[in-house]
Chains A and B, each alone.
Chain A
Amino acid sequence: MSSDLAISVRGIGKTFRVGAAQAQATTLGEMLAQKLRAPFAKRERDFPFEALSDVSFEVRRGEVLGIVGRNGAGKSTLLKILSQITPPTRGEIDLRGRVGALLEVGTGFHPELTGRENIYLNGSILGMTRREIAREFDSIVAFAETEQFLDTPVKRYSSGMFVRLAFAVAAHLRPDILIVDEVLAVGDLAFQRKCLGKMDDVARHGGATVIFVSHQMSAVRALCGRALLLEGGKVSEDGRVETVLGRYIALSNAAQSAVTELPPGEAGAPARATTVRTFGMDHQPNCTFRLGEPWRARVEFEVLAPLSHFIAAFGLRTLEAVPLITWWSAPRDLSPGRYAVEFPCDVPFSAGSMEFTVGLSSGERTLYYAEGVGGITISEIAVGAQPFRASGAGLLTSMQRPEIIPALP
């Protein structure tokens, strides 16, 4: 390994035994019973599941590498192996320098202990010595903005304060290699920005190597120069962040369809939504629309009992689960039967992918609710005037096109 490499991963694989989940005994009694029933059957019901196979990559010192991939692609397993929580089944990794891993904010915090006590406890769990913690103590507290509450048990902290303190401890580890899993999902926007800033600082000025996993593509784009796309436990793309993210988005979109079958609601509910269909301007079923193109969503549902003041709702949120907009139907009293509502979606969204939220209610009661289902994509190719670059233009775009006029000299 040449000395400017911080991480060298060679042919890493991890195999879990699944099916074992049902067959594997979790109490001694079950195990004994199994052994008695079939003493020589050596776990035949197990089948190996390859969470990771033949993953190889290298990271240079000071590089910030983003790892993206759909749920179950093996991101978490890879991070757990890199941070030595679980060993690989095959392959080798060399890490040069001290490793700090933050896979979850607040693990190791104890609710009964005060903020001060938790800083020391968590610091040592993450691998700092007492002296190092004492040295960083003031800047940890300053970063977390919790000076007044240092001697309050953290169980009385607001969730925001808790998350800030937890991140602050990890951020002051001063590792040579920092491994960060989806930790920004918690905390408010200002805090997220602060964390990103801190990670950037650690990499840029501290010379640390950072591996960063997030579903927030904006964060990956802002922080990382290079990204890795994991697909089914394999590295399917490794290169410049824009290229890899483009491939990842295309992958997410491939899972969308113009017809979304909705999950069944609560058993016994008097109404349930069944399907969402999306159509373009041409009335053809579609799930990819052009920037500025109006489209329609048709929500189909079933009513099993007479319901008064019935409302169907349809919403959109980003892939990062940020709610964007909700449309409601006009209220109506309904008798049992099948119904549908068509929502005209003429809001000028910017380019990107969105997921659906579907809800049904009667009076004050929610009868059905499903979120993060299906989805549509607004492509960067606009209807009419084509802006130079539409991605990252904001969640909404204005369709007004004011004239450019000569300025007065």
Chain B
Amino acid sequence: MIPELQPESSLCGVPVLSTAGEAFRPGGGEGEIIVRIRPPRPWEALDLRSLWRFRDLLLALAVRDIKLRYRQTALGVLWVVLQPLLAAGIFAFVFGRIAHLDSGGVPYVLFCYAGLLAWNLFSGVVLKASGSLVANASLVAKIFFPRVVLPFSTVISTLLDFAIGLVVGLALLLAYGRVPGLALLAAPFWLAFLLLLATGVGLICAALAVAYRDVMHILVAVIPEGLPRTLYKLNPIAPLIEGFRGALLGQGSVGPRSAVYAIVFTIGVFMAGLIFFRRMERQFADVI
């Protein structure tokens, strides 16, 4: 029996979303799901609504990441707190005590800690998101789910580390007798853009890493040190980190020009990430 070809927008009277792999529930509730599978079109932006539909998976993967990171460690989740403290202590000791660098009246530990907190969030998201597809290669090759869930789940698990680090940071501030002021309200703004930028870079690198594993090696070499200092003026991450630090410490500000530059750059990278990921997505299972 040869099926009749139906017009694309309707199938037996029910509307159908015709993009590859998109499910649609007519009436939004109890109705039936109809999926139409067809060859993908080259240019489509990633549909972020799939993240919401698969929110349980997003969380489950993030929880897995967190659990695995601290399983079979003697100190367990304590490491989330210890890691940033240790790093800040070392920084403060090296640069404050030994090199006597100026931090504009702010205790050097705080100055370092705030910057490190933001930088770790950025580099954590970029590194983990980039590796997320390759690390879950068997899932990608054998099970269907929106691939974009993988890089985004790493954002969640990194955010948890960040949140704990932030609480430690606020405690440090109080310990030094500094009560964060109204400037703190600007922190979520800077954070949001930092996350957006990191996710955008992560999406691009993750999609690239599926075919070219070199991406990970390059990132591991570049991320920890080089980026924040080289081309300081052109680096869009610097204003975002400075903005966050300023908000936390209530001191220092970002010029409007570099702020606008960073924001436009961030949105551009994020959009590019969505489009590029979508374009590469269709061949992940075949190439990985």
A residues lining the B interface (CB < 8 Å): 1-3, 5, 8, 10, 16, 25-29, 31, 58, 80-99, 101, 103-104, 107-108, 110, 112-113, 117, 120-121, 124-130, 176
Asked if B36 contacts A94 (CB within 8 A), the reply is: yes
Of B98-106, B125-133, B134-142, which stretch is located at the interface?
B134-142
Asked whether A88 and B142 contact (CB < 8 A) given A1-B6, A16-B286, A29-B214, the answer is no
Q: Are the CB atoms of A87 and B39 closer together than 8 Å?
A: yes
23 A-B contacts (beta carbon < 8 Å): A8-B3, A26-B212, A28-B214, A28-B215, A83-B144, A84-B20, A85-B142, A87-B37, A94-B11, A94-B34, A94-B37, A95-B34, A95-B35, A97-B33, A99-B35, A103-B142, A107-B142, A110-B64, A112-B71, A121-B60, A121-B64, A125-B57, A125-B139
* B178 interfacial by beta-carbon distance below 8 Å: no
Residues of B within 8 A of A3 (CB): 12
The residues of B that contact A28 with a CB separation of less than 8 Å are 212, 214-215
Query: Which residues of B lie under 8 Å from residue A121 when comparing CB positions?
Result: 60-61, 63-64
B32 within 8 A of A: yes
Contact across chains for A1 and B3 when beta carbons are under 8 A apart: yes
Q: A-B pairs with the 3 shortest C-beta distances?
A: A124-B60, A93-B37, A84-B144
Complex partner residue of A84 from B37, B39, B212, CB under 8 angstroms: B37
> What distance in Å separates the Cβ of B119 from its nearest Cβ neighbour in chain A?
26
Bound CA–CA A108/B139 (angstroms)? 6
A31 touches B212 (CB 8 A): yes
Count of chain A to chain B residue pairs whose CB atoms are closer than 8 Å in the complex: 131
* Chain B interface extent, by class: 35 or more
A88-B38, A92-B36, A94-B34 known; 20 new pairs, CB 8 Å cut-off, are A1-B3, A2-B12, A28-B212, A81-B37, A83-B144, A84-B20, A84-B21, A85-B142, A85-B143, A85-B285, A86-B286, A91-B38, A94-B11, A96-B32, A99-B144, A112-B71, A113-B67, A120-B60, A124-B56, A130-B56
User: Using a CB-CB cutoff of 8 Å, which residues 41-80 of chain B contact chain A?
Assistant: 54, 56-57, 59-61, 63-64, 67-68, 71-72
Chain B nearest Cβ from A23, distance in angstroms: 14
- Chain B residue nearest to A117 (CB atoms) is B67
List, in ascending order, chain A residues with CB within 8 A of B285's CB. 80, 85-86
A138–B282 alpha-carbon span in the complex (Å): 37
Question: A58, B1: Cβ atoms under 8 Å?
Answer: yes
Do B60 and A98 have beta carbons less than 8 Å apart? no
B213 within 8 A of A: yes
Q: Cβ of A101 and Cβ of B214 under 8 Å apart?
A: no
Q: Which A residues lie within 8 Å of B140 (CB)?
A: 85
B211 contacts the other chain (CB 8 A): yes
Q: Residue-by-residue, is B248-288 near A (CB-CB < 8 Å gives 1, otherwise 0)?
A: 00000000000000000000000000000000001101100
The residue of chain A having its C-beta at the shortest distance from the C-beta of B283 within the complex is A86
Q: Smallest CB–CB gap between A123 and chain B, Å?
A: 8
Structural contact, B39 and A90, CB atoms closer than 8 A: yes
CB distance from B139 to the nearest CB of A (A): 5
- Whether A93 contacts B38 in the complex (CB less than 8 A), given A58-B3, A124-B57, comes out as yes
B176 within 8 A of A: no
CB nearest to A106 among chain B residues: B138
Residues from chain A with a CB closer than 8 A to the CB of B214 are 27-29
CA separation between A85 and B144, bound complex, in Å?
5
Residues of B within 8 Å of A89, CB to CB, are 39
Residues of B within 8 A of A104 (CB): 138, 142
Q: What distance in Å separates the Cβ of A111 from its nearest Cβ neighbour in chain B?
A: 10
Which residues of A lie under 8 Å from residue B142 when comparing CB positions?
A: 85, 103-104, 107
A25: chain B residues within 8 A (beta carbon): 212
B63 contact set on A, CB distance < 8 A: 121
Residues of the A chain whose Cβ atoms lie less than 8 Å from the Cβ of B64 = 110, 113, 117, 121
CB < 8 Å neighbour of A125 from B39, B60, B211, B213? B60
- Determine the distance from Cα of A81 to Cα of B21 in the docked complex, in whole angstroms: 10
**A-side contacts of B139, CB under 8 Å:** 107-108, 125
CB distance from B90 to the nearest CB of A (A): 30
Is B189 on the interface with A (CB-CB < 8 A)?
no
Inter-chain contacts of B21 with A (CB < 8 A): 84, 87
Chain B residues with CB under 8 Å of A8's CB are: 3
Chain A residues lying within 8 Å of B36, measured Cβ to Cβ, are 92-95
> What residues of chain A lie closer than 8 Å to B61, measured between beta carbons?
121, 124-125
Closest to A94 in B: B36
> With an 8 A cutoff between CB atoms, is B145 at the interface?
yes
Residues of A within 8 A of B12 (CB): 1-3
Give the residue name and chain of the B residue nearest to A83 (CB). B144
- Contacts A8-B3, A127-B145; is A108 near B138 (CB within 8 Å)? yes
Which residues in B have their C-beta under 8 angstroms from that of A82? 37
Closest Cβ of chain A: how far from B199's Cβ, in Å? 21
The answer on a CB contact under 8 Å between A108 and B143 is yes
B40 close to A (CB within 8 Å): yes
In the docked arrangement, what's the CA distance between A83 and B141, Å?
11
Residue of B nearest to A98 (CB): B33
Q: How far is the CB of A116 from the nearest CB of chain B, in Å?
A: 12
The residue of chain A having its C-beta at the shortest distance from the C-beta of B4 within the complex is: A1
Nearest-Cβ distance from residue A137 to partner chain B, whole angstroms: 14
Whole-angstrom CA separation of A206 from B56 in the bound complex: 25
- In the bound complex, residues from chain A placing their C-beta under 8 Å from that of B215 are 28
Beta-carbon contacts under 8 Å, B215-238 to A: 215
Tell me if B143 and A101 are in contact (CB < 8 A). yes
The CB with the most chain A CB atoms within 10 A, among B6, B59, B143, is that of B143
| Residue from A26, A92, A113 in contact with B38 in the complex, judged by beta carbons closer than 8 Å | A92
Tell whether, in the assembled complex, residue A1 and residue B37 are in contact, meaning their CB atoms are under 8 Å apart.
no
Query: A97 contacts which chain B residues (CB < 8 A)?
Result: 32-33
Q: Give, as a whole number of angstroms, the nearest-CB distance from A78 to chain B.
A: 12
Q: How far is the CB of A379 from chain B (nearest CB, A)?
A: 36
Q: Which residues of A contact B33 (CB under 8 A)?
A: 96-98, 176
Nearest CB of B to A225, in Å: 17
Residues of A within 8 A of B212 (CB): 25-28, 31
Instruction: Name the distance in Å between B32's Cβ and chain A's nearest Cβ.
Output: 6
Provide the residues of chain B in CB contact with A91, threshold 8 Å.
38-39
CB contacts (< 8 Å) of A120 on chain B: these are 60
Chain B residues closer than 8 Å to A10, beta-carbon distance: 3
